[in-house]
Amino acid sequence: MEKPVILNKRENDESLPFYKPQAREIELFEYGYKHQLPLLIKGPTGCGKTRFINYMAAKLARPVYTVACHDDLSAADLVGRHLIGESGTYWSDGPLTRAVREGAICYLDEVVEARKDTTVVLHPLTDDRRILPLERTGEILKAPPEFMLVVSYNPGYQNLLKGMKPSTRQRFVALRFEFPAPELEHEILIGETGIDGDMARQLVRLANAMRALKDHDLEEAASTRLLVYAATLILGGYEPVEACRSALVEPLTDDMETATALMEVVYATIGR
């Protein structure tokens, strides 16, 4: 998190990261950016949330700071802290502070994983004040118009202990992502990996068959990301059934019986 990722500064679409829109998410993001609104994105693991943020950062020619949130994430990890160096004590900005200073996009991935007392630091940035108080230095940073705060989480993980507080959630405009429709996911696989159309269709059919089992045997559904991994292995010469075992079955479950059942779905869809 020492430097922002500047993905692209050109407006030529061919130069942007590969992305296929599902609905009107690009339009909503652009309105939010133009009108200085924070954005919340909800969706399952591997459905394209992070790729969408990277695409929009490149499209808007803004640097993006990405923070992978976790249980031990503290307010200081976001805002900054005093450190001890050769010349004595000095202040080091955290990624949120750097994004505010530079007018960048700050993306907090899986924000519900962070402690609730940590996310409170976001509140002054998500209302009409758009400020970031730095208590340790006495500064009050005013976010420039180019700054945008984006957070995401997977609603499938929500429970009483790991849900976003309503008082925080209502500070954002929200966007829901789902897995792409089959035809769109087919296009994504081809565009992302270059795999042939027939194999792409088989992989998409396989993913949707596995997704139908999610509520019964699996905690997580087969993601578009895992499909890309499987296609990449196949393109590299890996046998398709084994590619599906390594990229789709084994990442989804540790239970041998469930893995065996999933492999039967693979055999029925891809062959043996």
C-alpha to C-alpha distances, 222 to 111, 211, 240, 266, nearest whole angstrom? 22, 6, 16, 12
CA proximity to 56, closest of 19, 1, 24: 19
Give the Cα separation of 242 and 229 in Å (integer).
Answer: 12
pLDDT at 204: 97
CATH of 13-176, one of 3.40.640.10, 3.40.50.2300, 3.40.50.300, 3.30.1950.10: 3.40.50.300
C-alpha to C-alpha distances, 34 to 30, 57, 149, 226, 270, nearest whole angstrom? 6, 13, 13, 34, 46
Average pLDDT over the chain, rounded to an integer? 90
229-241 pLDDT, tens digit per residue, is: 999 999 999 999 9
Q: What is the mean pLDDT of residues 193-220?
A: 89
Residue 168 binned pLDDT confidence (cut-offs 50, 70, 90): confident
For the ranges 69-78, 216-225, 229-238, the maximum mean pLDDT occurs at: 229-238
Per the document, the length of the chain is: 272
User: In this model, does residue 150 exceed pLDDT 80?
Assistant: yes
Distance of CA 237 to the CA centre of its chain: 29
Lowest-pLDDT range of 29-33, 90-94, 163-167, 182-186: 163-167
The residue behind tokens 């045997």 is 217
